[in-house]
Amino acid sequence: MVKFNYYTPTEIVFGENSEYEVANLIKVYKGKKVLVHYGGKSALESGLLDRIYEALTANEITYVSLGGVVANPVLSKIEEGITLAKTEKVDFVLAVGGGSVIDSSKAIAVGALSKEPIWSFVGNIDIKKALPVGVVLTIAAAGSEMSSGAVITNDTNDLKRDFGGRALRPVFAILNPELTYTLPTYQTACGVADIIMHTVERYFTNKTSMEITDQISNVLIQTVMRHALVLLDEPTNYESRAEIMWSGSLSHNGLTGARASGGDWACHQMGHELSAKYGVAHGASLTALWPTWARYVSGENKERFKKFAIEVMEVDPSDKTSSEIIDQGILKLEDFFKKLDLPTTLKALDKDINEEDIKDMALKATHNNTFNPGEIKKLHYEDIINIMSKANQ
Ligand code: NZQ
Ligand code: ZN
């Protein structure tokens, strides 16, 4: 039976120059003292931060700022942000960046209103109290600008873990596709992979789906694939940047998961271990695992994999056995990732991963053998070792 909650309160302001709306939006959501949070250098170098500071000053909104968020954001920076937010009594957090900056901002927003250490929130998916977070998005990828979750890495023990709740959905997100023109090709590709995977992870379920949700999923994946190829030659093609940016938000706001289950998510669970241990970009961690995962589990739900091959990957089923159709569907997505120059094996990550490393990651991904990621097939410690070892050949 189909059963779902769909709650997506984030106000989206989309289009060129939309970052100039930032001060008005902060006022609408009652921000008076803002923490502006950003990453390494891209928002500084592009002049985006200056434009934001000017808009805040012109509208008499006071602010403090904290940069230096790294990809796969770390606990130590978040703790610095929480201390700053409390000392300065900020009442609004503005994330200027991608998923890492947004997730760091969400964590600060929770920590600012709590006496508990922020790491004690990991695993909690029902967080109800946080400062409001607004977003100026600079990379289409994680979908955190509309999602209820945050993923952070503990830099004392390399654990990458998530938490969430309705309080973590940003109140607004400014999406100007032009802000993504400066992305390096590899980051654009990693973002595209993550967007596709957010719908693919939700698609692979053993439970009931809905025709409307499946059709939205098919179109979203196909649209992102088509426009990602355009960007290989034309990185400043506004229409393609726009299609991908909006797809990124829709792929992770719950829309493509409106069916009887939230999906599989095993590749995300395993991928987080790769990012935590080796600093692999999130999108690349997913593409390095997905083809091997898909071949490992496809026998568990052949109908779903066949539907994926025919309807999403547009494999022509005539004169083919079910296994051939499934194989071609997996191969088509793998080939697409290769076209974007993304790794499709662990070996391609070039991190010199050995069997002991794989055992360590399998232990962490199963939370010391107490949790089994996945829905198509619940993965045990040995399954994760098998998948990672095959992907490492
Ligand atoms: O730090 P800067 O200099 O800004 O560089 C960033 C960073 O190195 C760069 N970048 C961003 N916008 C740019 C730009 N460079 C040039 N021009 C621009 N306009 O891109 C690099 C990657 O940024 P990051 O924020 O890490 O990328 P992404 O959006 O992919 O976020 C990844 C993080 O989000 C988490 C991932 O696990 C990872 O930690 N996720 C969060 C989710 C959520 N909260 O709902 C869901 C996802 O599944 C994902 O797990
Ligand atoms: Zn993701």
pLDDT digits (tens, 9 = 90+) for 76-103: 999 999 999 999 999 999 999 999 999 9
**What does the pLDDT average to over 194-201?**
98
Q: Identify the CA nearest to 290 among candidates 253, 247, 336, 258.
A: 336
Average pLDDT score over the chain? 98
Q: Identify the CA nearest to 143 among candidates 185, 182, 189, 197.
A: 197
Give me the percent of the chain exceeding a pLDDT of 90. 99
**What's the distance, Cα to Cα, between the start and end of the chain in Å?**
41
What integer pLDDT is reported at residue 5 of this predicted model? 94
The Cα–Cα gap between 93 and 106 comes to: 8
What integer pLDDT is reported at residue 103 of this predicted model? 98
* Cα 3 to ligand 2 centroid, rounded to whole Å: 23
Q: Residue 60, Cβ neighbours under 10 Å: how many?
A: 9
153 CA closest ligand 1 atom index: 39
Structure tokens at 191: 């973002």
Amino acid identity at 65: S
* Cα 355 to ligand 2 centroid, rounded to whole Å: 25
| Residue pLDDT, tens place only, 276-329 | 999 999 999 999 999 999 999 999 999 999 999 999 999 999 999 999 999 999
| Residue pLDDT, tens place only, 339-366 | 999 999 999 999 999 999 999 999 999 9
The percent of the chain in helix, strand and coil, each rounded to the nearest 5, is 55, 10, 35
Q: Identify the CA nearest to 284 among candidates 322, 243, 341.
A: 341
143 CA closest ligand 1 atom index: 45
CA angle 35, 36, 40 (to 5 degrees): 135
Instruction: Give yes or no on whether 11-179 and 185-391 have one common fold.
Output: no
* In the chain, alpha helices (H): 22-28, 42-45, 48-58, 75-88, 99-111, 185-203, 211-233, 238-251, 266-278, 282-287, 290-297, 302-307, 322-339, 355-365, 381-391
Residue 250, pLDDT above cutoff 90:
yes
148 CA closest ligand 1 atom index: 45
Phi first, then psi: what are they for 5, rounded to 5°?
Answer: -105, 135
What integer pLDDT is reported at residue 377 of this predicted model? 98
Q: Given ligand 1 and candidates 44, 45, 103, 136, which is best to mutate, with the most ligand atoms within 8 Å of its CB?
A: 103
Structure tokens at 340: 């974007």
* Cα 53 to ligand 1 centroid, rounded to whole Å: 22
Q: Given ligand 1 and candidates 65, 136, 192, 282, which is best to mutate, with the most ligand atoms within 8 Å of its CB?
A: 282
What integer pLDDT is reported at residue 88 of this predicted model? 98
Residue 391, pLDDT above cutoff 90:
yes
Q: Kindly give, in sequence order, each residue whose CB lies less than 8 Å from that of residue 188, ignoring residues fewer than 6 positions away.
A: 139, 180, 228, 231, 235
Structure tokens at 240: 């393609």
What integer pLDDT is reported at residue 283 of this predicted model? 98
Atom 2 in ligand 1: residue holding the nearest Cα = 40
| Residue ranges per structural domain of the chain | 11-179, 185-391
| Residue pLDDT, tens place only, 30-52 | 999 999 999 999 999 999 999 99
The Cα–Cα gap between 69 and 41 comes to: 10
* Cα 68 to ligand 1 centroid, rounded to whole Å: 13
| Residue pLDDT, tens place only, 364-385 | 999 999 999 999 999 999 999 9
Q: Identify the CA nearest to 385 among candidates 350, 352, 360.
A: 360
Q: Is 284 exposed, middle or buried (0-12, 13-18, 19+ CB in 10 A)?
A: buried
Cα–Cα distances in angstroms (integers) from residue 224 to residues 188, 198, 231, 250, 281, in the given order: 12, 12, 10, 11, 19
According to CATH, what is the number of the domain 11-179? 3.40.50.1970
Hey, what CATH class is 185-391 in? mainly alpha
| Residue pLDDT, tens place only, 158-190 | 999 999 999 999 999 999 999 999 999 999 999
Q: Kindly give, in sequence order, each residue whose CB lies less than 8 Å from that of residue 331, ignoring residues fewer than 6 positions away.
A: 291
Q: Residue 310, Cβ neighbours under 10 Å: how many?
A: 18
What integer pLDDT is reported at residue 1 of this predicted model? 85
- Is the dihedral angle over the CA atoms 20, 23, 26, 28 positive or is it negative? negative
Ligand 1 first shell, C-beta below 6 A: 39-43, 71-72, 97-101, 103, 138-139, 141-144, 147, 149-151, 179-180, 182-183, 187, 190-191, 194, 252, 268, 282
